[in-house]
Amino acid sequence: MTRFSANLGFLWADRPLPDAIHAAHAAGFDAVECHWPYDTPAADVKAALDATGLEMLGLNTRRGDVAAGDNGLSAIPYREAEARAAIDEAVDYAKAIGTRNIHVMAGYSDHSQADTTFAENLRYACAAGAPHGMTMLIEPLNPYDAPGYALRDTAHAAQVIADVGANNLKLMFDCYHVGLTEGYVSGRLRALFPIIGHIQFASLPDRGAPDSGTLDYEMLFIEIAALGWDAPLGAEYKPGGDTERTLGWMQMF
């Protein structure tokens, strides 16, 4: 049976994070994940996780100066100190709440040294997370939602992972981003399966619930299970209003 994780960056995003965790549990999710939990005390998040029995599967490093246009820091040359401070913060927070995965955000950069900078910061992140059993994730973002993002596509991500050479560096495979950038989601997923650390989903092309759009998630979830994936799949879609009204898909898959 397919298990699902609620991404609380989008689902129940209008509620405080502990309340969103309780809402996800009440709705029948098997786990949760989030984007940037840092404004909520880790003790409050841990208490909600303990009360519900849910695991927080992953969180993101801070984006940086969002007002100035930042969307991650780790692939931006000359900002290594900021990037590594964000990594340290994420590791500390993840350790406090029992989270095993950290998405290290690359950021916007077309600098010739972006890949080198990213690799060096990822080696730092992997070394910081390894003693705690943490996996670092990288995620290509599509060029329509995030034009200029330094990690362009899954082939680029696979090369970065190979260059870094750390056992605890994996790909965050977001079906929505891959579908918009590359198409043929199931084929890319099969090809990349050995390096995938987490899978997320949303409809194409509007990033809504998975029971709409052009991507057949019923078949895709069957393919994912057949590959041997048994971790919860991340529901990272935009509900466009009240989250509960969009959850009918959970009874379909």
Using N-to-C axis directions, what is the helix angle for 217-226 and 185-192, rounded to 10°? 20
Q: Band the pLDDT of 211: cuts 50, 70, 90.
A: very high
| Gap between the Cα atoms of 187 and 251, Å rounded | 26
What is the pTM assigned to this prediction? 0.97
Q: Band the pLDDT of 149: cuts 50, 70, 90.
A: very high
Fold of 4-251: TIM Barrel (3.20.20)
Q: Which candidate, 20, 26, 18, 86, places its Cα nearest to that of 46?
A: 18
pLDDT by residue (tens digit) across 29-80? 999 999 999 999 999 999 999 999 999 999 999 999 999 999 999 999 999 9
Amino acid at 156: H
User: Widest CA span of the chain, in angstroms?
Assistant: 49
Q: Which candidate, 157, 149, 37, places its Cα nearest to that of 102?
A: 37
41 contact partners, CB below 8 Å, separation of at least 6:
none
Active site residue 139: yes
CB 138 within 8 A of CB 104: yes
Q: Which candidate, 151, 124, 128, places its Cα nearest to that of 140?
A: 151
Q: Where are the beta strands (DSSP E) in the chain?
A: 4-7, 31-33, 58-60, 101-103, 135-138, 169-174, 196-201, 233-235
Catalytic residue, candidates 33, 80, 236, 244:
236
pLDDT by residue (tens digit) across 78-103? 999 999 999 999 999 999 999 999 99
29 contact partners, CB below 8 Å, separation of at least 6:
4, 5, 6, 54, 232, 235
Quick one: CA torsion of 53, 174, 215, 253, rounded to 10 degrees?
Answer: -10
Degrees, nearest 5: CA angle 168-203-141: 45
Catalytic residue, candidates 55, 120, 139, 218:
139
CB 18 within 8 A of CB 48: yes
| Gap between the Cα atoms of 60 and 127, Å rounded | 17
pLDDT surpassing 90 at residue 1: no
pLDDT attached to residue 41: 98
pLDDT by residue (tens digit) across 104-130? 999 999 999 999 999 999 999 999 999
Using N-to-C axis directions, what is the helix angle for 114-129 and 154-164, rounded to 10°? 60
Domain range list for the chain: 4-251
| Gap between the Cα atoms of 153 and 131, Å rounded | 29
pLDDT attached to residue 132: 98
Active site residue 89: no
